[in-house]
Structure 1
């Protein structure tokens, strides 16, 4: 593999948000969404007008999905909210881990069948190891998939829904598991897809393109890595912010790549060294993306 490819993209939002995560795109409205998890905010950017709107949320939230023209899904520390598209009003639909105020949601994505995968993790550093769980939610039915996850990330699916991916960033071993395309439920045990244990850069959020390649944000090194379906790393793209968190396909042809980042934990000196921490970027390359699926109520 050749050397890392220098950044040739652009800044979509020059905000030093604490923990940018959960980006997605609604092709019906040409709008990109992402969260500041720690700031309890939903960020909305119209790509056709460049209008940016920030919505305050009642809880830390991390996963967003379209349901239909009237409703959207917001996954939070309380569980699954239904959001009214026009008013922004939220209604808690599926409570999850409400007896655990020390926990919050993290990475997640909707499977092509309309079911949701998402993970939970400890809010603080203490006691984080093995405290989280990756769940499957289908029309309100909650199924525990993978317990004892410290930092759930990298959740995405092959375009036909037959393969699922996830990682515990603390362990840095990326897994793949065969799925029932009709339900998004596992058919067997997870197998290692990419093993980067002990290597620099944490495997963070991912998306899977139309060719089955994985685009993964690497925390702490300011990079997006692309992996072939067999786990071979085929490209590395550099970004200006060190703590890159998650990519999303955007644009009406799903041919552009948005990448979020974080400024979590940086003091004045840290921000001086990493001045674009928390910015949201477009990578500046053409991709063959796939739109995220809608969540089925």
Structure 2
């Protein structure tokens, strides 16, 4: 049975906190508030919170092994972001022409490629959809299409399986993955199907190859075994957890972002900590987050 002790709470009251990850180099937690166009950094050792405005909403981002800038999936595409100036250097904009779509969840695979999927925010055309993409430093590749809200992207410990959810379906899918070629190599299967009305959001894999998922609408983060059995559930003080990551000096901290978006005044009265970032001590360790290469 997993144990959780709350270590830190950052009262940031994000509209839509997302994309959280631990930066080993500066021993800090980084994340984005998508709807407020802000990147955050929290340093637990000093309890210092820093934020930077961004010229577009940032769905997710990655640290680079060779560049001080962030590689970001901004609303209209993938770019390098210089935090100090807010300058974007565009690399690929695969859905810029689709009115109502924006980039959403993503992360770096075990070989150092950056992946990001989109989201249909507003339907402006019949059967409007989005897709899941990867960027290898020179080219953009499309891997899954016909999506509505791309989420829960992560890879098994050995990198031979890719996990992904089209959130409104309520299903986390597992796909065989070729880590050398950087592509899905076979048909997917349903890994987890959640209760009606709930939506899988951000996910990560721990050192025991189990998947952790922030389950939007449930007020929980859930842990699943490699064969899809629920092993644990962490009850949270808000209904809309959005993303999870492991961090801390030995990667035994579970970090959770959340959202206030869509909650009316009555709901916010019941859950005033909605939008905050929580850091829990656990008895489980995560895996290092890869950098873009």
| TM-score with structure 2 setting the length | 0.92
State the secondary structure of the residue aligned to 1:160. Answer: coil
Contact (CA 8 Å) 1:164, 1:178: kept in 2 or not? yes
1:99 and 2:97 matched = yes
CA distance in 2, matches of 1:290, 1:85: 26
CA distance in 1, matches of 2:9, 2:126: 32
- Equivalence for 1:222: 219
- Equivalence for 2:282: 285
Query: What pairs up with 1:246-285 in 2 under 5 angstroms?
Result: 246-285=243-282
- Equivalence for 1:51: 48
Q: Using the TM superposition, give the Cα deviation of residue 267 of structure 1 relative to its aligned residue in structure 2, in angstroms.
A: 2.9
The equivalent position to 1:115 in structure 2, one of 110, 113, 116, is 113
Query: What pairs up with 1:163-242 in 2 under 5 angstroms?
Result: 163-196=161-194, 198-242=195-239
CA distance in 2, matches of 1:76, 1:259: 21
CA distance in 2, matches of 1:213, 1:52: 30
CA distance in 1, matches of 2:48, 2:207: 29
Does 261-270 or 20-29 show the bigger shift? 261-270
State the secondary structure of the residue aligned to 1:226. Answer: strand
- Tell me: CA distance 1:47–1:92, structure 2 relative to 1, closer, same or farther (3 Å): farther
1:137-178 Cα deviation digits (max 9, x unpaired) = 212311111111111111000122111000111001111111
The ranges of structure 1 where at least 4 consecutive aligned residues each deviate by more than 6 angstroms after the TM superposition are: 125-129
CA distance in 2, matches of 1:167, 1:137: 19
State the secondary structure of the residue aligned to 1:179. Answer: strand
Contact (CA 8 Å) 1:63, 1:74: kept in 2 or not? yes
Q: Using the TM superposition, give the Cα deviation of residue 38 of structure 1 relative to its aligned residue in structure 2, in angstroms.
A: 1.0
State the secondary structure of the residue aligned to 2:269. Answer: helix
Contact (CA 8 Å) 2:62, 2:114: kept in 1 or not? no
Q: Using the TM superposition, give the Cα deviation of residue 290 of structure 1 relative to its aligned residue in structure 2, in angstroms.
A: 0.7
- Equivalence for 2:70: 72
CA distance in 1, matches of 2:126, 2:4: 33
Unaligned runs of 5+ residues in structure 2 are none
1:14 and 2:11 matched = yes
CA distance in 2, matches of 1:195, 1:129: 24
